[in-house]
Chain A
Amino acid sequence: DTAVSQTPKYLVTQMGNDKSIKCEQNLGHDTMYWYKQDSKKFLKIMFSYNNKELIINETVPNRFSPKSPDKAHLNLHINSLELGDSAVYFCASSPRTRVSTGELFFGEGSRLTVL
């Protein structure tokens, strides 16, 4: 029973297309995140939502739009895809807004390849 699940796991698409990645967690956590792991292997925070409300929005192009229909779901929509968007996108959740005494639970990642 997967705690944090992302779909699709692999996505290959052309430049200029629009695509979405979905994330669901069944842990009952209030906070969800999107992280991006680029070719240099850094895991960088993109967005964080707490109970459907955006709380962290790092410097990400506005082509990226997160949507949280409820606290168990956080989807990522990307418009006008560019080559540099190719990366592995990880969804994560945590029981607290401040990941200090707790920790993040990650999904398996969605590998996006833009041709």
Chain B
Amino acid sequence: DQQVKQNSPSLSVQEGRISILNCDYTNSMFDYFLWYKKYPAEGPTFLISISSIKDKNEDGRFTVFLNKSAKHLSLHIVPSQPGDSAVYFCAASKAGTALIFGKGTTLSVSS
């Protein structure tokens, strides 16, 4: 059963515009959420995180929004840059388990 879902396998955006990547989860016990970025032939790297006690966390061009009632989070990248082209994984955490990842969304930013 997929506890973390990224329903859009891919997203294409023009440089300078906003990229919005979405993630849904099913387990209300998750209390920490993270986004990872992965380039080809590399391991995922941590991007940004948010605790369930917050609804927004911002780091430069990256903002993560959490809607607990909808069990939904999103990653906003603005402005998008060609170097942002990568696979983005959403991940969730609860006590007693390792991170549970979604399937990833491939973002392509064209110049």
Q: Do A and B come from one complex?
A: yes
A115 interface residue per 8 A CB criterion: no
The answer to whether B103 and A42 touch across the interface, beta carbons within 8 angstroms, is yes
Provide the residues of chain B in CB contact with A104, threshold 8 Å.
36, 44, 46, 99
Q: Bound complex: CA of A107 vs CA of B31, how far in Å?
A: 25
B111 interface residue per 8 A CB criterion: no
The answer to whether A99 and B43 touch across the interface, beta carbons within 8 angstroms, is no
Q: Bound complex: CA of A92 vs CA of B99, how far in Å?
A: 11
The answer to whether A92 and B43 touch across the interface, beta carbons within 8 angstroms, is yes
B22 interface residue per 8 A CB criterion: no
In the complex, what's the smallest C-beta–C-beta distance from A53 to chain B, in angstroms?
A: 15
Provide the residues of chain A in CB contact with B41, threshold 8 Å.
108-109
Provide the residues of chain A in CB contact with B44, threshold 8 Å.
43, 90, 104, 106
Provide the residues of chain B in CB contact with A90, threshold 8 Å.
43-44
The answer to whether B46 and A103 touch across the interface, beta carbons within 8 angstroms, is yes
The answer to whether A100 and B43 touch across the interface, beta carbons within 8 angstroms, is no
The answer to whether B98 and A4 touch across the interface, beta carbons within 8 angstroms, is no
Q: Bound complex: CA of A99 vs CA of B93, how far in Å?
A: 7
Provide the residues of chain A in CB contact with B89, threshold 8 Å.
43
B34 interface residue per 8 A CB criterion: yes
Residue of B32, B97, B98, B103 touching A40 (CB-CB under 8 A): B103
Interchain residue pairs with CB less than 8 A apart (25): A4-B43, A40-B103, A41-B87, A41-B103, A41-B104, A42-B2, A43-B89, A45-B97, A48-B98, A56-B98, A90-B44, A92-B43, A98-B95, A99-B34, A100-B31, A101-B32, A101-B51, A103-B49, A104-B44, A105-B46, A106-B43, A106-B44, A107-B43, A108-B42, A109-B42
Q: Which residues of B contact A (CB under 8 A)?
A: 2, 31-32, 34, 36, 41-46, 49, 51, 87, 89, 93, 95, 97-104
